[in-house]
Amino acid sequence: MGRWEPDSQGRLVEAAIALFDEFGFDRTTVADIAERAGLTERTFFRHFSDKREVLFFGAGALQELLVDTTVEAPASATPIESVASALEAAGELFSERRDFSLRRQRIISSSTELQERELIKLASLASSLGEALRQRGVPDPTAALTGEIAIAVFKIAFERWVTEPSAPGLAQLIRESMRQLRAVTASA
């Protein structure tokens, strides 16, 4: 194994997803993943802390996109409009990788441990959105509440996107969920 390993991270993710799909998450080891990718375990651990993290390596980039888009929304945007624009930007990002998202989701659904990890990542995204709104001058509890609501909307739209075979694009499902949110809350 030379020092030059073009896109070793991408190869490790691809290998891991294929193995999780084929043999199950629990029965796949880091050694298996490295071997399938034609890399060493040491290289694996330069990219990921454990095999679970292979499925969540995009969380940091997603969080950054959500926070940046929220912070940079026009000054005239209301809190919910700011986070809605961020969710739609995330929706566009995911739409480019629908196949990967579907395969990943199938693996996550197969394991309670992974489902729990997903919930924890989503809660962390909600907190980050709340913090981004505070940076826009939105006070609490509105900032925290809007962050939580945004992630509720995202979760529902994402679930539809990965489970409904003829679902439209994720960005469109997010807009639909936002409309449903308004309809639901207006009816109190």
Q: Residues interacting with a second copy, by CB under 8 A?
A: 78-81, 84, 116, 119-120, 123, 126, 141-142, 144-146, 148-149, 151-153, 155-156, 159-160, 177-178, 180-188
The nearest distance, CB 83 to a second copy, in angstroms, is 10
Q: Which is nearer to a second copy, 39 or 73 (CB)?
A: 73
Q: Which is nearer to a second copy, 99 or 183 (CB)?
A: 183
Q: Which is nearer to a second copy, 52 or 155 (CB)?
A: 155
Tell me which residue of 62, 162, 59, 170 sits closest to 118, measured CA to CA: 59
List the Cα angle 157/160/165 in 5-degree steps.
145
Q: Which is nearer to a second copy, 42 or 49 (CB)?
A: 49
Query: CA–CA separation, 169 vs 157, rounded Å?
Result: 10
The nearest distance, CB 1 to a second copy, in angstroms, is 35
Query: CA–CA separation, 52 vs 122, rounded Å?
Result: 16
Q: Are 172 and 111 in contact (CB under 8 A)?
A: no
Q: Which is nearer to a second copy, 5 or 81 (CB)?
A: 81
The nearest distance, CB 102 to a second copy, in angstroms, is 19
The nearest distance, CB 119 to a second copy, in angstroms, is 5
The nearest distance, CB 164 to a second copy, in angstroms, is 10
Side-chain half-sphere CA neighbours of 91 within 13 A: 28
Does 141 sit behind a cis peptide bond, omega within 30 degrees of 0 on the bond before it?
Answer: yes
Output the CA torsion sign for 111, 90, 37, 21.
positive
